[in-house]
Structure formats: C-alpha cells, structure tokens
Amino acid sequence: MPLPSDSNDTWRIGGTVLRVCWRGDLARFRREAAVAAALPPGFPYPEVLDAGSDGELAWQLTRAVEGVPLVEVWHTLTAARRRAAVHRLGAALALLHEHRFPAQVVELLTAPRRLDGITDVIGADIVPLPLDRALRLLDAARGIDGVPAALLDRVAERLHGLTRTDPLSAPPAGSAPAGIGCLHGDAHPGNALWHEDEVVALLDLEWVRFGPADLELEPYLRDNLGTPAWRTADTREVLRLLAESHPAAFAPPDLVDRLSLYRLVAAVRSLVIAGRTADADPRPLPLAPLSRAADGDAHIRRLLPDGGRR
C-alpha cells in the first residue's frame, strides 16, 4: 500500500515500510541508518531492518509502527493529551541533541556534503545553512520565470542583515562543537505517530544533521505544517509546550533573529524547488511565503512564548 511522503516513494508491505529515495542526496538514507542504529535508549524510532543503494537510488526497510500522524488527530485531543504529546516530542528531541554518538557516526554527519550543483544544495538539508548554500539558491532563483527581482533583492538585503546570526557559518568536519548536537531535522506533528493515547514514534530521520537545538523549531515557521486545518494558534500552543520540554531550543539570546534566518533560507529553497518542477506542477510559485519571511520578525514574535523576549 503506498503511503504519503514529501521526498520519497513509500509503501507499507505487511509489517514493514519500504522507502525509496531517487532524488537529492541519496546518502541521507545512509546517515539515517547509521544514526538509527546508535540512538539513545528511549528514543521512539522504528527499527531499521535493512538499507542500501545502487548509486541511482537508495532504499530503506523499517519495521512498521501502528499509529496516525499527530497532526491529523490534534484537534480531537484534550489539552492534557496535547501537552503529553508535545512533551514526549520535546523530550525525544532533547535526548537526541544531548546524546553522544559513536565517533564514526559523528564523522558521517559532519563530513562535507557534496554540493557541486543546485540539486545537491537542495538535497543536502531542509534549512540550507551555512549561509553560502542559501546564497547559491538565491542566485538560482533569479533565473526562475515569474519571480520579481525586487523580491529577491529584498531577500538578499535581509540575509545580509542576518549573516552574523548563522550558527553554522564554520562547521568543523569530524567534530561537534559546544552547543551543536544531533538534530532530527524535520520534527513536527506530521512526523509523529499517535497510537493509544501516546506518541509512539518520531519518523523520518533522513534529514538528520548536526546543529544547534533551536534549528528544530524551523518546521513551526512554515505556513500550515502540510494541512490546511493547522492554525497559528496551534503552532503557538506547540511552541509553548516545547519550551517546557526542550528549553535548550529556546535558549539562544538572539533566538528571534536565528529563527528569522532559518525561515528565510528555507523559503528560498522552497521557491527554487518549485521553480525547477514548474513544468510538472501547476501550482503557483511560493512567492508569498518568501515575501512574508523577508518582511521581518513580527510573525515569529507572535508565535514564540513571551514574544521571544530574553
């Protein structure tokens, strides 16, 4: 049975789930399998049964976990169950970030990514940092039909103003400096499975990377987390509960500026992806999210507990 997925072809086959990656950075499945094999006890992740690659595609077979995405049942849950769900999610992310992985896993995650072309930059990470990656994507965006040059100029100016906030400006290979730990990379209620009144799994470690804890907040800066039913009030509630269970993600004194940077560079990446698939996808280019991200930090302050004040 085929399953929904944004970046892979996915099937449920009996008690297993097969995922096939045929675009972007195929090595991300290798990183996922390595991390999954060395996760700390208590981290809710499906067992990886096998994984491989033939150079043109990568595949991974995991044990199936029963449940439905948390985002689909969120509005049916009581306040107490929502709190328990987000606390479980936050505790898992904190555990992952603090875990000391074996040296070979650290080396794999910190090894320089192949970034020869724009496709490589897109496929490396959801949040294209260090900043030079985002600037390459911004240059590529200037070649997309229908993208106003004035908008991209505004984005460039905003990025220039946020340059100093890039926490990954000089990532050393082979080590994880202070404040940098393992990140899920795409942890949100759409990737958390809910079953019998609890979060039983946090799926899709394929975007795993090293970074600061606050980078895990990037999914909540997106417009709707993949479902039209998701509201700004839901995001505010989740962030308030995450701040209780994963306080390190909210600790940076320049948190608002950092989140502004994450939101903006992710929006640039989304625009370039849309521009490169425009022939096959009739949907309008995501210009409005990029414009909003370039406007400033008012939206982020509305989302954060206490308006992001430190």
Strands 209-212 and 16-21: unpaired
Tell me the three state secondary structure of residue 13.
strand
CA distance 120 to 286: 21
Q: Cα–Cα distances in Å, from 301 out to 221, 307, 308, 310?
A: 11, 4, 6, 12
Q: Is 55 left (phi over 0), alpha (psi -120 to 50) or beta?
A: left
Q: Residue 186's pLDDT is what?
A: 95
* Model pLDDT, residue 169: 86
DSSP 46: P
Percent of the chain with pLDDT over 70: 90
- Structure letter (DSSP) for residue 48: E
3-state secondary structure (DSSP) of residue 189: coil
CA 275 to CA 251: how far, in whole Å? Answer: 36
- List CB contacts of 215: < 8 A, sequence separation 6 or more: 127, 167, 183, 185, 262
Torsions phi, psi for 23 (to 5 deg): -145, 160
Q: Average model confidence (pLDDT) for the chain?
A: 90
| pLDDT tens track for 41-94 | 999 999 988 887 777 788 889 899 999 999 999 999 999 999 999 999 999 999
8 Å CB contact between 265 and 134: yes
Q: Which fold has domain 67-308?
A: Aminoglycoside 3'-phosphotransferase; Chain: A, domain 2 (3.90.1200)
DSSP per residue over the chain, as a string?
Answer: -EE--SSSEEEEETTEEEEEE-SS-THHHHHHHHHHTTPPTT---PPEEEEEE-SS-EEEEEE----EEHHHHGGGS-HHHHHHHHHHHHHHHHHHHH----HHHHHHHHSPPP-SSHHHHHHH-SS--SHHHHHHHHHHHTTSTT--HHHHHHHHHHHHHHGGG-TTSSPPTT---TTEEEE-SS-STTSEEEETTEEEEE--GGG-EEEEGGGGGGGGGSSSTT-TT--HHHHHHHHHHHHHH-GGGG--TTHHHHHHHHHHHHHHHHHHHHHHTTTT--SPP-HHHHHHHHH-SHHHHHHSGGGG--
Q: Which pLDDT does position 234 carry in this prediction?
A: 94
Q: Give the model's pLDDT for residue 175.
A: 57
Q: What pLDDT digit, counting tens, does each position of 175-233 carry? A: 556 689 999 999 999 999 999 999 999 998 989 999 999 999 999 998 767 677 889 99
What pLDDT band is residue 263 in, cutting at 50, 70 and 90?
very high
Q: What length is written for the chain?
A: 310
| Amino acid present at 124 | A
Beta bridge pairs of residue 20: 9, 59
pLDDT tens by residue, 128-145: 999 999 999 999 999 999
For 103-130, what is each residue's pLDDT tens digit? 999 999 988 888 999 999 999 999 999 9
